[in-house]
Amino acid sequence: MTPAIPIQPKPVPSEPEVGKPTTIEKGDYVSFDVQLDQGKSITCDVTANGRVNFYLLDDDNLTSLDLGEEFWSETGEEDTEKATLEFKAPQNGKWFLVVENTETREVSATVNIRKTSPKNEPSTQ
C-alpha cells in the first residue's frame, strides 16, 4: 500500500435513495441530507425489516456519531422497525436523517421524506 493514498472509509455501494429500499450492513448506518429553511417542517418515515435507530442530526452530531462519541438528535426513535419523525427547522440549514442498523445482520430500510406546510399556508403538493 502506498502511503500517498489516504485511508478511505469502507466504500458505500451506492448513495441511499429516498423512497427506495437501502441495504444497511450490520453496525452501519445510512444518512440522507435534508436542506431546510427556518420554520419549514418535514415528516420522515422509515420502514425496515429489522431493528434500526432513526435520527435527525445536525452536522456536528453526525460527526460525533461517526466517531462513536455521544451525540444529540433533534428528534429520533430507537430500536424500531417503523417510525415517523416530525421536525421543524429552528434556522436555515442542513440536517441529516440517519438510519442506523442495530441488528446482527444486514437490514433493508426505506425512508420517505415529505416537506409539510404549516396549516395557514396553502400546500404546494
Q: Indicate whether this model's pTM tops 0.85.
A: no
Quick check: 56 and 85 in contact, CB under 8 A?
Answer: yes
- Quick: pLDDT tens for 38-64: 999 999 999 999 999 999 999 999 999
End-to-end CA distance of the chain, in Å? 52
Burial code (b: 16+ CB inside 10 Å, e: under 16) for 44-79 equals: bebbbebebbbbbbbeebbeebeeeeebebbbbeee
- Quick: pLDDT tens for 81-121: 999 999 999 999 999 999 999 999 999 999 999 998 766 55
The full set of domain ranges for the chain reads 22-116
Quick check: 115 and 64 in contact, CB under 8 A?
Answer: no
Is the domain 22-116 a CATH 2.60.120.680 member? yes
Question: For residue 72, is pLDDT > 60?
Answer: yes
Give residues with Cβ within 8 angstroms of 93, minimum separation 6. 35, 36, 58
Q: What's the rounded Cα separation, in Å, for the pair 59 and 46?
A: 21
> Which is higher by pLDDT, 121 or 25?
25
Give residues with Cβ within 8 angstroms of 47, minimum separation 6. 81, 82, 109, 110
